[in-house]
Amino acid sequence: MTTRPIAVVGASAAGLAAAEALRRGGWRGPLTLIGAEPHLPYDRPPLSKQLLHGAWEPDRLRLRTEDQLAPLDLDLRLGTRATGLDVATRTLTLDGGEQFGCAGVIIATGVAARTLPGADRIAGVHTLRTLDEALALRARLAGGGRRLVVVGNGVLGCEAAAVARELGHEVTLVGVEETPMAAAVGTEVGALLAAEHRARGVRLRTGVVDGFETAPADPAGTGAPRVTAVRLANGGTPASEGVAAGGGERGASRLPADLVLLAIGSRPAVEWLADPALDTTDGLRCDAYCAAAPGIYAAGDVARWDHPVHGRPLRFEHRMNATEQGMAAARNLLAELAEAATVPAAPGAGDDAPTQERRPFAPVPYFWSDQYDLKLQAYGLTAGADRVEATVLDRAERRLLALYGRDGRAVGVLAAGLPPRQLRALRAVIATPLPWEEARERIGAATAAG
């Protein structure tokens, strides 16, 4: 009887990590890796930084070359989308109509960029999630001197604004929240970021986009009308302390633009998962083992799973989590299949083969953001905190530290300008939530140790 394949849906960091972990873990049966984009697996964080800046070319983003992928013996389906999954039979449907049953499925489809109605029909309005989108925006930013409006002042918007400013463009950063990255790092750290952007000449504004103004299409272009301005509902306002740098009077409703980047967040890519056995509310709901259903696992940005340390379902759109969770999902799927005695044994593996068992996935979340020459690094949970204590350790050197709490316990820490040894010490403190005062003391001792 032919062994059914394991299918990994999503060929980015999480999917690649899962595929490699499946082979390392002893899966010798067919292994299918399905990717919606036509590119080999590549790294996404540099899209809004090194690639957009022009410092890197696409080949440098590749996670593996064709030669490096060859030993995995993959049935590699690039430029292919999964359009359906029958959970009971573990049957995948692909966009060409092909259907095949699987021994197991790992879903790593990530997220898709949110956009605004009609934006896709206007030349000069961009999103930034894929390699092709990043290259398209980079081409438009070549040469300098353009007016760029970045809609969305979260991590992606701030990073792209910094790159565009370094390239010599006029940049306006617009957000619903008054403080950049407030949802991710809190208003205290966000205020320091706002000051950094203003010092570099970025105009900060607060408001909701009401629409776009356009001009007739360039006859030599795509035929689509081109953007000339962004309209803000109720006029918008310059962000606090940014009236002089805001580039307009209070109440002005029109932001002139040659280019617009929509960085207004993302949505988990779960629209193809219509089986009622799956919960697709804010990602694919999983248990502590990353399992959404028997034989069905998820990893990366799309997965919302029960974090055993924090005691609630979480979903992280962070690069390190994608790799770690891809490996964990693969390990736990193999353990489940081994228990059902369906894993083809590795060549030469006999009774002495190691016993596999499922383990809860309990990472210490980590993310970073590079803006200008400032690098923020955070461990634990910084979003959703009910208490934040931020300290500027050295303003001239831009060294800062912030502690984040929830329900009386410290759950996250963020730093900039600290040496690696201190960063490792901060991670150790926050790995398990501690009472607030105990964490404060341990953080203080870690940073005082130099």
Q: Please give, one letter per residue, the 3-state secondary structure of the chain.
A: CCCCCEEEECCCHHHHHHHHHHHHCCCCCCEEEEECCCCCCECCHHHHCHHHHCCCCHHHHECCCHHHHHHHCCEEEECCCEEEEECCCCEEEECCCCEEECCEEEECCCEEECCCCCHHHCECEECCCCHHHHHHHHHHHCCCCCEEEEECCCHHHHHHHHHHHHCCCEEEEEECCCCCCHHHHHHHHHHHHHHHHHHCCCEEEECCEEEEEEECCCCCCCCCCEEEEEEEHHHCEECCCCCHHHCCCCCCCEEECCEEEECCCEEECCCCCCCCCCCCCCCEEECCCCEEECCEEECHHHEEEEECCCCEEECCCCHHHHHHHHHHHHHHHHHHHHHCCCCCCCCCCCCCCCCCCCCCCCCCCEEEEEECCEEEEEEECCCCCCEEEEEEEECCCCEEEEEEEECCEEEEEEEECCCHHHHHHHHHHHCCCEEHHHHHHHHHHHHHCC
Q: Is the domain of 303 the same as that of 188?
A: no
- CA 374 vs. chain centroid, Å, equals 19
Q: Is the domain of 331 the same as that of 299?
A: yes
> Within a domain: residue 362?
no
> Within a domain: residue 363?
no
Q: Is the domain of 129 the same as that of 241?
A: yes
Q: Is the domain of 411 the same as that of 442?
A: yes
Helix 436-448 × helix 420-430 angle, to 10°: 160
Nearest 5°: phi and psi at 33? -115, 120
Here the tokens at position 414 are 């963020």
Q: Are 183 and 155 in contact (CB under 8 A)?
A: no
- The pLDDT tens digits along the chain (450 residues) read 458 999 999 999 999 999 999 999 999 999 999 999 999 999 999 999 999 999 999 999 999 999 999 999 999 999 999 999 999 999 999 999 999 999 999 999 999 999 999 999 999 999 999 999 999 999 999 987 899 999 999 999 999 999 999 999 999 999 999 999 999 999 989 999 999 999 999 999 999 999 999 999 766 666 889 999 999 997 677 775 432 223 333 444 899 999 999 999 999 999 999 999 999 999 999 999 999 999 999 999 999 999 999 999 999 999 999 999 999 999 999 999 999 865 454 443 333 344 579 999 999 999 999 999 899 999 999 999 999 999 887 877 788 999 999 999 999 999 998 888 888 889 989 999 999 999 999 998 888 765
Q: Is the domain of 405 the same as that of 440?
A: yes
Q: Is the domain of 123 the same as that of 258?
A: yes
Which neighbouring-strand residues pair with 123? 226
End-of-domain residue from the set 262, 289, 307: 262
Amino acid at 319: R
What is the domain-level CATH number for residue 70? Answer: 3.50.50.60
From CA 5, how far away is CA 3, in angstroms rounded? 6
pTM (two decimals)? 0.91
Here the tokens at position 187 are 């208003």
Q: Is the domain of 330 the same as that of 429?
A: no
Residue 18, CA atoms < 13 Å, CB-side half-sphere = 35
End-of-domain residue from the set 221, 242, 262: 262
Scan for tokens 């394949």, then name that residue: 5
Tell how strand 399-406 and strand 409-416 pair up: antiparallel
**Per-residue pLDDT, 1:** 43
End-of-domain residue from the set 262, 286, 310: 262
* Residue of 8, 85, 90 lying closest to 276 (CA atoms): 85
Q: Is the domain of 133 the same as that of 107?
A: no
Domains in the chain, number: 3
From CA 93, how far away is CA 351, in angstroms rounded? 37
End-to-end CA distance of the chain: 62
Domain that holds residue 385: 373-448
